Amino acid sequence: MSNFRRVDEDFFDDLEETLIKADVGAETAFQLTDELRDEVKLQNAKSKEEVSKVVLDKLVEHYEQQGINEDATMHFAKSGPTVILFVGVNGVGKTTTIGKLAARYKQEDKKVLLAAADTFRAGATQQLQVWGERDGVEVIAGSAGSDPASVVYDGVQAAIEQQADILFVDTAGRLQNNQNLMQELAKMKRIIERELPEQPMEVLLVLDSTTGQNAIQQAKLFKDSTDVTGIVLTKLDGTAKGGIILPIRNELHLPVKWIGLGEQVGDLQPFNAKDFAQSLFG
Ligand code: GDP
């Protein structure tokens, strides 16, 4: 018994440290750990597995109460195409997420088109075309170096003509020239709004969870320049914890809509409080 108690205390010490490290905030971390300790006693959990389960359930309840799942859904037009614009810096996983999400919606019998509006980076269009072939969906592309806004225009026209349900737009992510990139994104958005004035649009900001605080800086930057409607948090299959979700929610008020859990087509899940709790804890 005394042996178990020690294991128990080590467990809660680790948990407290994890919560602090995951940017939950020290005060909340202490309070939450106390509540979890009480709950474990109350439930009379004995083995490590039982303790883990009680803690996980309680964490899920806590985050659900905080409204962490609020507005994590995607908004689609009742009829006609909905455009989903993907923004974020190079390498975070925009193209991969589009490939995964396109496959998912195609499976739901939606007509999907892709637009390769990163005409800046060599190979970006080709990479999207690989996903297009794999998913069996058409990719609208321009020539290298062409105006990305014109690719977006062509994509929207194709979506209207072909009565597509969803047009995914892949965009550039060069950070070395912020201002140009933000202007470019604003131009794309204007074109979409002009061509499809009645339709809802999603602007999903993709963030790499392994970059920690950097991801929060990126989120601020993009939020100031484009009307981001949600976050995709990628690479949660590695060692990264999902702790940055909390500051993103609390400071930037942006919902996390999807999480990326690998490089394969099936490695994408809608975000929910349980995943979040597990990512903190696991
Ligand atoms: P982009 O530049 O933002 O379009 O990023 P890419 O889609 O090209 O992704 C960059 C790299 O990250 C590629 O090697 C992807 O396979 C990888 N990647 C994307 N999402 C995930 C993820 O959720 N988990 C892991 N492990 N790798 C990912």
174 in Cβ contact with 120 (< 8 Å): yes
Which residues are near ligand 1 (CB < 6 Å)? 88, 90-96, 173, 206, 234-235, 237-238, 260-263, 267
Q: What is the pLDDT of residue 2?
A: 44
Which among 43-47, 139-143, 278-282 has the top mean pLDDT?
A: 139-143
- Residue 93: count of CB within 10 angstroms of its CB: 22
- Token readout for 96 is 């991969």
- CA distances 96 to 77, 159, 199, 227, 282, Å, are 24, 21, 25, 22, 24
List, in order, residues 6 or more apart from 146 with CB less than 8 Å away: 119
Interface predicted TM-score (ipTM) of this complex, two decimals? 0.99
Binding-site residues:
88-95, 170-174, 234-237
pLDDT tens, residue by residue, 80-131 = 999 999 999 999 999 999 999 999 999 999 999 999 999 988 899 999 999 9
Tell me if residue 17 falls in helix, strand or coil. Answer: helix
- Token readout for 119 is 């005409």
Domains and their CATH numbers in the chain: 1-70 (1.20.120), 82-270 (3.40.50.300)
Rg (Cα) of the chain, in Å, rounded? 21
Task: State which of 263, 265, 267, 275 you would mutate to test the pocket of ligand 1, scoring each by most atoms of that ligand within 8 A of its C-beta.
Answer: 263
Task: Count Cβ atoms within 10 A of the Cβ of residue 258 and give its class: 0-12 exposed, 13-18 middle, 19 or more buried.
Answer: buried
Return d(Cα 160, Cα 162) in angstroms, integer. Answer: 6
Tell me if residue 176 falls in helix, strand or coil. Answer: coil
Pairing of strands 268-270, 256-260: antiparallel
List, in order, residues 6 or more apart from 90 with CB less than 8 Å away: 121, 172, 173, 174, 175
Scan for tokens 């809509």, then name that residue: 257
* Beta bridge partners of residue 113, listed in sequence order: 138, 167
Q: End-to-end alpha-carbon separation of the chain, Å?
A: 25
Residue with the smallest CA separation from ligand 1 atom 5 is 93
Binding-site residues for GTP:
88-95, 170-174, 234-237
**Phi/psi at 69 (5° precision):** -90, -5
Chain centre to alpha carbon of residue 148: 23
Span 43-52, average pLDDT: 79
pLDDT tens, residue by residue, 183-230 = 999 999 999 999 999 999 999 999 998 888 888 889 999 998 889 999
